[in-house]
Structure formats: C-alpha cells, structure tokens
Amino acid sequence: MFLKKFIPKSLLNYDKEYMFVGLGFLRLFIILMLLAGWIAAAASSTKKTEYNSSNTRPAKLAYLISVFLAILTSSIIFIISLFKVHEKEVPYLNRMSLFSLVSDLVFLVAVFASSIACAVAEPKIRSLNEDVNKGTFAIAAFFGFLSCIAYFIQISVVVYKSVMEKWKQLKTYLKDKANPAKNSPK
C-alpha cells in the first residue's frame, strides 16, 4: 500500500496476458539465455601464449557485443510490450511488432554467427596446457544456440499471427464483396 503512492500507475497495470499467455514469457527466456551466455563468454580466456598461436579474442568480442545489444534491445521491447507503452504514451511506436520482428531477425543472425565462432574457439582454448577457464566458450555457444531457437520460435509465432490476421481480413472482404445485397443499407 505504501509503495503504490510512489509507483506510477502505468507500472502497476502491466499486461498479464502478454506475460503469461502471449510472447512475454518467451521474450524473458531469450533475455535470460542471452545473459547466461554473456556471463560465460565474459569468463572465457583470451590468452595468446606460446602453446596457443591462435587468438580467440575476436570470437569473444563478437559474442559479447552482439549478445549485449540483443539483451538491450530485447529488454526494451519486453518493457514496452509488457506495460503497453506503445499504445498509451508514445503514439509513434505503433509499429512495435514490425520493429520487434526486424530486430529479432537481425539478432537471430548475429547471435547465431557469434555462437558458431565461440563453438569454433572452444577447441583452441582446450588445447592450451595452462590453467584457464575451459568450457566457457562451449557454454556460451550453447546458450547462444538456445536463444537462437527461442528467437526462431518468437519470429515464427509473430509471422503466423500476422498472416492469420490478414487471412481473416481477406476472407471477410471477399465474403462482403460476394454478397453486396446483404451489406447494403435499406
């Protein structure tokens, strides 16, 4: 009760349907998988020693940058969709589904490519004779691939919903056009 005085009403009225029935739970899963992969990649070693002539720094940097941007973008989309900011306060964000679809496609490709780079870099780290964090690139690649699967499911559901909505509109239009006498005013 005391906190309700200080919290804006828009934060108290979140969209329960988006979180539990819609795609909010999947978006939250994506954010958590990306965060786990980011932590694993940050803990990985990039030492270039006499035993390891190949450098794994580019794979680590590509993964960290792409996943950080994906976490940031997914978090913003999650918050905007959860609190329906795009419907209430900011009228120019009415193309939110198109923005989230395009950003999901971009980060699906970026995270997939950087996860492949981490998977390729893991044997280079394992070949070191030094005491380094072995397995961290493999863990980062695993979480990256999991988030790519979740991105693909998210994209598929959004595209399916929009196609079915357009199909329903087309059927209604064709039905109305086929029976003009029933729809004309008397």
For 104-159, the DSSP string reads HHHHHHHHHHHHHHHHHHHHHHHT--S---TTHHHHHHHHHHHHHHHHHHHHHHHH
Cα dihedral 15/31/72/7 (nearest 10): 40
pLDDT (average), residues 156-180: 85
Domains and CATH numbers, the chain: 14-179 (1.20.140)
pLDDT (average), residues 145-167: 90
Q: What percent of the chain has pLDDT over 90?
A: 34
pLDDT at 127: 75
pLDDT at 68: 96
Taking only the tens place, the pLDDT of each residue in 116-137 is: 999 988 887 777 766 667 788 8
Predicted model pTM: 0.79
Alpha-carbon dihedral sign for residues 38, 39, 42, 43:
negative
Taking only the tens place, the pLDDT of each residue in 78-107 is: 888 887 765 655 555 456 778 888 999 999
Tell me the average pLDDT of the chain. Answer: 80
- Read off the pLDDT band of 33 (50, 70, 90): very high
Residues near 101 by beta carbon (within 8 Å), at least 6 away in sequence: 155, 158, 159
Taking only the tens place, the pLDDT of each residue in 37-86 is: 999 999 886 665 544 446 778 888 999 999 999 999 999 988 888 877 65
pLDDT at 161: 84
